[in-house]
Amino acid sequence: MYEAPHIDSGQLQMALNRALAMNGIRSFNNIHIVQMGGQQFYQVLIDSAHQDIRYISTVSGRLLADGDRLYAQFLARRFLSGNGQNKTLPETEAASDQDCCIRAALNIRNSPGAKIIAVEKITGFKGAYKYINRLLPVYKVSFDRGDGIRIYVETAGSRFAYAVDDRRAAFDRFFGWFHTWEWMDALGTVKYFIMVLITGIALLTTLMGLYIFCITKTKKPGNPLLKARRNHRYTSLVASLFTLMFAFSGGFHALENGLSKKQLPSAFSPQFAASAIDLNVARLDSLTGHSGIGELSLCTINNHNYWQVQLCKKQQDMEQQADLMKSMEVHPAPLLYVDAENGQLLQDGDRLYAQYLAQAFHTERTGVIRSATLVTKFTDEYNFINKRLPVWKVSYNTKDHKRFYIETKTGVLAACIRDKDLVEGYSFALLHKHHFMDWGGKTTRDISTMFGAGMQIAMVVIGMVLYWRARKKKRVHPKSFPAGHDQK
């Protein structure tokens, strides 16, 4: 996620409710304050699907034309140049009423670095941007570089979504064809049941092979063919362990995909009346001890509106969060909840909001909340595929120990997990992706996975060599028949 500088109160010259009224906005889903191109804007999310996002200058109240595409370009360039931290962003400049939006647009379009050649809004999972990336809608920003890199960003959350260059795209196509079988996507869920059938055959074949190995005595290698057969048998013995792991976990995973329906994470998205919201940044800043406000948004708890205030992060925490892909954890700054009417601070507001959202998402209405804990790193249960951190894990005392993983900054239910989900999840994580090797780090885990896959290839290659040798031997030495009999 892009770490913006603190909100510049000097540029908050246009009151929020007046800016909304000037632009004919009577209601909205949420609001943030963002900085781009040296200027500051109210980012107004009109609808819950985030298809309509507008940017209004905090100085003049003017609407920034094509603002969402400009912000996407700004974010993409920041993520491409580093880790999303604001180390090179120029200081915000106090601009006149007439030129603040124009100046921001020019600064973004004329930024140094690789030229942006295309910006496309993505509203569905297609092509290189697949369901595994989870976030929608996003913008695909293409750069004029030798590697053809494309950066995908979510403007509503100022969030990095995905990056792919030509080399990665070629690998993804290979992976899609030969591993996830995208060429069968037209079959829908039938594709997954075909996978289950094939992995089931692989499991049965492997078990039969192990049985034959156990009951067959090894002959002394009197010729090269027998020696090759013996090598094949022992290679297959080692490879069979990985075959069982890959086939079982892959088949189980395919079955789960076939039975479940893919859907985006749910979001709790109330609408706010523009006339009912008043923003007093000075009052909010005093509650933070004047340490600076990093991000600002609205939320509703029990039909009461609160300003959700995130403090500025310390430089050390920003450096530690340089790459979520590598560290797999975040160091979040504190979130404060301030009553939008009376300015009172809500104690332990983030936990209370997480529990409130859990109640909203828990439609079964059974059980009570047992615990709520903040999760700042990916685990075997809540892993990188879920994309969002930090989240709150809200657990219920139901029979299936239902737990919700909730991102309070966006009001999104990132994951809902029951005990039965853990069986498939752990199966795929441990047996297919070799997370049992996590003790040695990612490199050790990758080596283990490659070794297992390599053994499958070795087993097939040796088996094919033996097969062709046997065919060749039969052609050279055809079966003899007793005297007086014709070969028919």
DSSP letter (8 states) at residue 38:
T
Name residues whose C-beta falls within 8 Å of residue 63's C-beta, 6 or more positions apart in sequence: 23, 54, 55, 56, 101
Position of tokens 């909730």?
Answer: 406
Helix, strand, coil fractions of the chain, as percent rounded to 5: 45, 20, 35
Helices (H), 269-427: 281-287, 315-320, 324-327, 349-361, 419-427
CA dihedral 92, 94, 97, 101 (to 10 degrees): -20
What lies within 8 Å, CB to CB, of 451 at 6+ separation is 242
Q: Are 356 and 369 in contact (CB under 8 A)?
A: no
C-alpha span between 161 and 50 (Å, rounded): 15
**pLDDT tens for residues 320-333?**
444 555 557 888 88
Res. 427: pLDDT tops 60? yes
- DSSP 8-state symbol, 402: -
Q: What is the pLDDT of residues 342-399, one digit of tens each?
A: 889 999 999 999 999 999 998 887 889 999 999 999 887 898 888 899 999 999 998 8
Other beta carbons within 10 Å of 54 = 18
Contacts of 298 (CB under 8 A, 6+ apart): 30, 31, 272, 277, 305, 306, 307, 308, 340
Tell me which of 220 and 449 has the higher pLDDT: 449
Digit-coded pLDDT (tens) for 399-414: 889 999 999 999 999 9
| 412-417 β-sheet, strand order | 266-267, 412-417, 403-407, 391-396, 369-375
Tell me what pLDDT residue 200 has: 94
pLDDT for the residue 354: 96
CA 487 to chain centre: 66
Cα Rg of the chain (Å, integer)? 29
In the chain, what is the straight-line distance between the N-terminal and C-terminal CA atoms, in Å? 76
Exposure string for 326-344, b = 16+ CB within 10 A, e = fewer: eeebbbbbebbbbebeeee
The whole-number pLDDT of residue 239 equals 83
CA dist 417 and 241 (Å) reads 29
Comparing 86 with 248, which gets the higher pLDDT?
Answer: 248
Dump strand ranges (E) for 302-402.
304-311, 335-339, 345-346, 369-375, 391-396
Can you give the pLDDT at residue 264? 67
Half-sphere exposure of 306 (CA within 13 A, CB side): 24
The amino acid that residue 252 corresponds to is F
Q: Compute the mean pLDDT over every residue in the chain, rounded to the nearest whole number.
A: 86
Strand partners, 165: none
pLDDT of residue 485: 52
Type of residue at 265: P
Task: Give the closest residue to 404 by CA, choosing from 396, 416, 414.
Answer: 416
| Confidence (pLDDT) at 10 | 86
Cα–Cα distance measured from residue 393 to residue 405, given in angstroms and rounded to the nearest whole number = 5
The domain ranges of the chain are: 9-174
Q: Which residue has the higher pLDDT, 247 or 469?
A: 247
Whether 76 and 149 have beta carbons less than 8 Å apart is answered as no
- Distance separating alpha carbons of residues 277 and 285, to the nearest angstrom: 17
User: What is the three-class DSSP state of 349?
Assistant: helix
Its pTM stands at 0.85
Cis peptide leading into 332, omega within 30 of 0? no
In this model, does residue 57 exceed pLDDT 60? yes
Sign of the C-alpha dihedral computed for residues 280, 282, 283 and 289 taken in this order: positive
* DSSP output for 153-209: EETTTTEEEEEE-HHHHHHHHHHHHHTS-GGGGGGTTHHHHHHHHHHHHHHHHHHHH
Kindly state the average pLDDT of the residues 49-58: 96
Residue carrying the six token digits 């999760």? 375
The kind and range of the H/E element at 234 are: helix 224-259
The pLDDT score that the predictor gives to residue 221 is 57
